[in-house]
Structures are given as structure tokens and as C-alpha cells.
Structure 1
Amino acid sequence: MQQLNDFLLLIDSFIGSAFWFPYALLGTGLFFTIYLKFPQIRYFGFALKVVKGKFDKSDDEGDTSHFQALATALSGTVGTGNIAGVALAIHIGGPAALFWMLMTAAVGMCTKFVEVTLSHKYREKTEDGTMAGGPMYFMKNKMNMKWLAAAFAVATVLSSFGTGSLPQVNSISNSLNATFGIDHMVTGGVLAFLLAIVIIGGIKRIAAVTEKLVPGM
């Protein structure tokens, strides 16, 4: 684990911790916001209608409903980004960090809008009839950059350790240990078992679980 942590820190030193990264992050979102004429504001009402299921059709291609897709996307970010991430940002950067988090979120919504739209447009149907999509697919199918698609897929797997499962499990196990004295390994084992039950069921089971949990979160 220490070697994996050192490797992730090495990558972060060239990207996330680099001086140019905040400018690239905010600049990309600002560019799309201006170029697309503030879609995060203009389409906000329409987005609510989509999430409510107004445009759902039983014969639409896909494995989840619009709301389930939203819930699945939010399920991996609410705990890390909105709870642990905010606390860490304030601890490191002070209250002013909240301002920049809000600015990043405001323009980041547009970046996410572009990413999801392209991922949906250039997704593929697998042999078993399920849909597969993501930035790597429009990199491969539209940009004809298979090497970049492969690099993105690998980076996504690595980032899932740094910003996905590990921080959340760490936060939960530390809280239970400090409050009830439950051993970290026990918490980790129970969470791994529960997670396996959900993930083994595929995206449909994941979506079915997240649509019930995320609203409460």
C-alpha cells in the first residue's frame, strides 16, 4: 500500500499539485460556460424535468432511468466531495477555500455537462446488450485517439483508489473506531462484503441501490 501511495503522490505532483492545474480546471469550465452560453443556468429547469422522469420512455436504450443515472453518479462524490473534501479544504486553506470550491463547482457543472453529453453520444452497446460509455469512448470513437482512451481508463482506475473507495472507507472506519471502538479491519471487511453484493449485480443493481440511498445522503 505504501508503494501504491507513493506512486499516486508522484502522479499528483505532476498534475493535481502542479501550479497550472487550478487554472486549467477553472479555465476549461469557464471556456465551455461562455462558449455554450451558460447552459448550467439556461437548462437548469429542463434538467429538473429530466431527473423527474418527464422524458423517460420504456423503449429507450440504456440500463438505468435518468434519475438512477444521476443517483449513481452522485453516490461516489457526495461523501468524499461534500463532507470529507470540504472539511479537508477548510483545514488546509481556511474558509476562503469554500469560495474557490463554489467557483469550481459553478463552472465545473458545464465541464461535466460536456463530458456526459459526449460520453452518451459516442457510447457503445456491448455483446450482452448493455451500454458502455465514458470519456474513453469519445476519445476512441470521435477523436480517434485510442492511446489517450487507454491512458484515461487506466488513470480512472488509479484515481478510484485515491478519490473513490479508500477515503470513504477510511472516514467510516475511523469514525466507528473513535465512537464505538470497532476495529478498522472489521469495518473494512463488512463494507467490502456489502459492496460486493451490490457491484456483482452490475449497473442495474448499483442504480437500484443508489436511487434509494442518495436522496437521503
Structure 2
Amino acid sequence: MSAAGAETTAGERRRILIVDDHPFMRAGLAQLIEKQPGLTVCGEAGNPAAAMTEIEKGRVDLVLSDITMPGRSGLEFIKDLQAIRPELPILVVSMHDELIYAERVLRAGARGYIMKEAGGEALLAAIRQVLTGEVYVSPKMSARILDSLSGRKPRGSQSPIEKLTDREFEVFQLIGQGKSTRDIAKQLHLSSKTVDVHRGHIKEKLELKDTTSLVRHAVRWVETQNLGT
């Protein structure tokens, strides 16, 4: 592969699908990518359902996706896409803390995670790295993952939220967005009883004494993460 890290054959551009619910963000990413040799934007989508439609239309070499979008969660979108197109790499670009999300998206099947604050040059480097078949995380996150694999205590502050499973994490976020048990069950395709079980596990892991404490904690957390969309 060339230094541009992009061509499948001479002169052919690698095709990138941008998935983000903010039109301005999609436009900015598209403008950045289109200026690069060997890269092109083949489509845009504002939610996971629209992204699946775009993927079915034609060749996509990389999905560049946010993690929080309306409808199906970003984690579920990654898992769904991996189930039907395991060869299609996904790079998550998000405003949210990599210490909370990066390992989750990698476990779900994504090939990388980069925070939007990293800037355009870092994003382009991440895109090219993932297109070569490698995994991308920040140096800080890489050191943390290596510490975890080696049995050492991970570097950096640990949040109690990290104790939650992916499903519990999704339920927790939806509680913080003001969703009822019934709404959560419908969105995640679960029974209300299963949601209640998850709520119980979340309370135990976060050491919250009752449902009121859980709701307050979840709402505060969602507000700090700007996940209320």
C-alpha cells in the first residue's frame, strides 16, 4: 500500500461512510476527507438505520461513526454491522471520554476509537491506520489497555461506570435521558422484566441504595457527558 495509505489499485480512492447525527459535523468531516489523496466520502447517514441503507447501496471501505445517535445505540450498531459485514472496519470518532467508551467499542468489533478533540491530523492518521488493517487508539488508551492485559492496575482514573456491562451501560444512559422502563425495553428490544434486572445490577455495582438515587446519578452523568439527545 502507498504512503497515502488509501489506494486499493492505482488511482482508486478508499470509500468512507460518515455516520453522525449532526449535519455540520458530517459536513466538516467530509470536507477534511475529500482534500486527502486516496480518500473519498461515499455517503453520509444521520442514524444507524440510514447507515445500513447506505452500506447496502455499494462498496464502503470504512465506516466513520459517532457512538451516540438517535434510535439504535452506537454499540448495537457496531455489533449489528459486524454480524453482517465483519470485514468492514469501523472507526469511532466521538466527543465522549475514551476511558469510558474505547474498550467497549473495540470489544463490540470496531477497529478504533478517537476523540473529536484530537483534531483533523490525528483523525486522518487514525483513518489511514485502520484502512491498513490495524487498530487505532490514542497512546494514553493503548498504555491503559496494555496495563490491563498484563494484570497491572490500569493507568488513569477509573470510573465506577466501567464496572457496568455494555447492556447495563446502555440502560444506565437511557435512564439518565429520562426513559421509563417500558421505553428502554422497547428501544433495546428487551422485556420490562429484563430491564428491571439490569437496573438492579446497576444499583449494586454503583452502590446506589434505591431507584431515586439511580435516576439522579444517571441524569447527572448524562448531563456531564452531553448525552441528552
- TM-score tier, shorter chain, comes to under 0.3
Q: In proportion to residue count, which structure has more strand?
A: 2
TM-score by length of 2: 0.23
Q: In proportion to residue count, which structure has more helix?
A: 1
